[in-house]
Each structure stands twice: as C-alpha cells, then as structure tokens.
Structure 1
Amino acid sequence: MKNVQFAEQLTYQRKLKGLSQEQLAEKTKVTVRTIQRIEKGSVSPHLRTVKLLAAALDIEVDDLMQLNDPREESIETKWLLLMHVSPFVGLVLPFLNILCPLFVWVHKREDSPVYDSHGRAVINFQITMTLLYVLAFAALLTIQGFGFLFFIAVLPFNAAIMLVNIFAVIRHRKCYYPAFPFLGINHR
C-alpha cells in the first residue's frame, strides 16, 4: 500500500511539473525503467532515490513520502465524503449536483491527487446525469410509454450510483462513476 501511495504522489508531482518520465530520469540520473517501476508501485525506492526525485521536482521529500497519520486520513475521508455526498443537494435544487462538488474540487484539487481524481469523477458523472435528465425529459414529452419509464428510471439510477460510490470511498477510498470525461481523465 505504501508503494502505491508513493507511486501516486510521484506521478502526480511529475505531471504537475509537466515532466515526462524520460525528462525526470535525465534530471535525476535515475533510469527511466526505475521511474516506471516506482510509478507502477512495483518497487519501493531507496531513500537516496527519493531525495533525488524530490530535488528534481523541486519539492520536499515529505511531499512524496506521506506518512499514514490517522488524523490526516480521517480528514481526507471527510473531504472525500463531502465531495461524493454533496451532489444529493441537486435532487432538491437543480444544478447544485454539479456546483457543490465543483466547489469542493476547485478548493481541494491541489492538495492531493486523490481529491483531484475523485472530484473529476464526481463532476463528470453529474454533468453526464444532468444531460441524461434533459434527454429523459425530452423523451417524456415525445415518446409515449417508454419516455415515462426512461424519465422515472434516471433518478434512482443516479442515486444508486452515488450511494455505491459513497460506500466504496468509506471502505476503499476508491470510486467508479460511468461518465463522459468532460474534465479530462483522472491523473491516477
């Protein structure tokens, strides 16, 4: 698990600086293959390698090596839950299903690649669902019989997907939303 967290942080920081694996290898004198294996999470880097990577990325070693502080994990879980639960407000007030997680994502995306990837997934899904609501409403008005069923099915589908992902975040810190990548693909 620690290799995976380091791999995610290294990949995120490298992409944040706009570097390819090859460019990072040139700056650190660490082989491209080693960087690839570290970013896959298949190896644990030596402390010397970590220091070289941090120096090349112009960040602190602590930014790459995150210690598992239970308080920080608890805070991260709370932010992730807020990001995943906030779209439920959109069931009462239109477009808040997009605006609420968008606000949280904009506020937290720079803090961690986890916030960035989860935020993108939630917002992409909510935009997709909003477009689906519009199609369902058009079907309700134009297609007799099927239009009504389609319109009625969209809301429970949206709620079910959101609930499944909330539980996945609580248990595994993972999420999966079937959606079009309006905000681009996740960095993970």
Structure 2
Amino acid sequence: MKNTQFAERLSYQRKLKGFSQEQLADRTKVTVRTIQRIEKGEVTPHLRTVKLLAAALEVDVDELLQLDDPREENIQTKWLLLMHSSPFIGFLMPFLNILCPLFIWIHKREDNSLYDVHGRAVINFQITMTLIYALAFIALLSVEGFGFLFFIAVIPYTAIVMLANVIAVIKAQKYFYPSIPFLGTRG
C-alpha cells in the first residue's frame, strides 16, 4: 500500500465528513498522533486500523485503500519487456536498435511515467552504443591489434547489458544502462 495515496484518501474522507483528527480519534480509539502520522504518510496503517477508520468515516475500506490491479502490472511488465528487448532487432538490421524502442517510447511515454523513464534509458544506451560501435569500426581500420579487440568486444558487451536489463525488468521493473543522457533522464 502506498502511504501517500492512503493518507490523501483518509484526509479527504475525514474532511468530507467534517471531522477533526481529534474527533476521528475519539470515534475509532486510534490515537490522534497515529492519525496525524498516517495523514502525513509517515506510517502504513495495519489493516485493523484501516477497518476502524473506514467504519468511523462510514465508508467502505475500498474507498480508503486502492488495491493494485495485477492485470495492470502484468501489462506494464509486458510493455517494459518489449521496450527493453526490441533493440535486439538491431543486430539484424542497422539502426532498428534505436528506432524500435524510440517508436514504443513515443507511443507509450504519455501513458505512464514508468514507460517514459525506461524508454529514455533504453534509447540513450542504444545511441551511446551505436556511437561506440562507430568509433570501434574506425579503431579497427586505424589501430592494429587493439582496434580489432575493441571492435569485437562492443557487440557482446551490448548484448550482455541488454540481456541483464531484460532480466532486471522482468524481476523488478528496474534497469541499469551505462550511457550518455541524449534524451535526458527523468524519475
């Protein structure tokens, strides 16, 4: 449960009913200090406390708690997975590693800030790695020995970082891309 959402709902319902924090405390046997801390978002109340508050405010528990929709989380994970895995197409056709996640990011960034943040990270990484690949190609042609090693190392490094981020997104909707922030960062 997110403390701030519950805090806002509790405060809204309490004020809507015209109760002070003290009056609500009297009606629930929950201390004024606890109600203050809940409304500031400092603590997450126990379910028993939520039930007492809902009963005193004469509202359903659902009106105070917003339960996460597992279907919505599943859809988010699928979009994030698509966003993070679509650059693999770039190994088959040049620049699709940038264009595919760019298209998804443009399409989804307004829907959820999570898509915006992840999309920027993916695109920043892909642009960075494309530039490094171009430098590695130049090094291949101009620097003996080291140029070849640099050129050969770029693709496996890129693939490993991308794969690690796909796994991180599936497990915890987190990412880590070492990159230059061409699109900036948010979040």
Same fold by TM-score, threshold 0.5 exceeded?
Answer: yes
Distance 1:125 1:104 in 2: 15
1:3 Cα shift?
4.3
1:2 Cα shift?
2.6
Moved over 6 A (4+): none
Q: 1:92 and 1:71, CA in 2 relative to 1: closer, same or farther beyond 3 A?
A: same
Distance 1:2 1:91 in 2: 41
Task: Give the TM-score taking structure 2 as reference length.
Answer: 0.67
SS of the counterpart of 2:73? helix
Task: Give the TM-score taking structure 1 as reference length.
Answer: 0.67
1:66 Cα shift?
6.4
Distance 1:119 1:66 in 2: 27
Residue deviations 1:64-84 (CA, integer Å, cap 9, x gap): x96411111111000000000
1:129 Cα shift?
0.3
- 1:140 aligns with 140
- 2:160 aligns with 160
Percent of paired sites with the same residue: 66
Residue deviations 1:139-165 (CA, integer Å, cap 9, x gap): 000000000000000000000000000
- 1:94 aligns with 94
2:77 partner amino acid: T
CA RMSD of aligned residues (A): 2.2
Residue ranges of structure 2 left out of the alignment (5+ in a row): 6-39, 45-64
Distance 2:166 2:146 in 1: 30
Alignment map for 1:63-74 (pairs within 5 Å): 67-74=67-74
Count of aligned pairs between the two proteins: 135
Residue ranges of structure 1 left out of the alignment (5+ in a row): 7-36, 45-64
Structure 1 residue 115 and structure 2 residue 115: aligned? yes
1:70 partner amino acid: P
Larger Rg: 2
